[in-house]
Amino acid sequence: SMSNTPLVFGNACASSNSPAGAAGLSPGFGSQFFAQGAISFIGTYAPITQTLAVRFARKFFELLLTPGGAPAAVGQTAPGMAVGRALLETKRFFAAEGQPDPSYLYYCLYGPAETCFCFEQ
């Protein structure tokens, strides 16, 4: 079982889809993490390129974890953006740079969009 209600970032080919040939009857990759206690899962619904996947993850986590995005509880470091906002802003970043590879649009969030991640000081 997972502890501390983690975010799982499934940066793999079609990580949010059900297994091939399952016709939607089998649980997808993401649902397996929810079953183990994850609060949020980000995955792709179609294959993505490795180059874009690495860049996307780097930008997403930069926005998610850079302090100043939301108020923090006493004894904790302020989080960055909420997970849903960080995902949206990451997509906007790639759109603004004119990214010719559209696979940045394939990322989906499952879980509460307003979730923020704080860290103990």
Most confident of 9-18, 23-32, 41-50, 82-91: 82-91
75-112 tens-digit pLDDT: 555 567 899 999 999 999 999 999 999 999 999 998 88
56-74 tens-digit pLDDT: 999 999 999 887 655 555 5
Distances (CA, A) of 85 to 54, 58, 62, 115: 19, 15, 12, 9
Q: Would you state the pLDDT for residue 6? A: 81
Instruction: Determine the average pLDDT of the residues in 20-41.
Output: 67
Measured at the CA of 88, the angle between CA 109 and CA 101, to 5 degrees, comes to 95
The strand pair at 7-9 and 40-44 is best described as: parallel
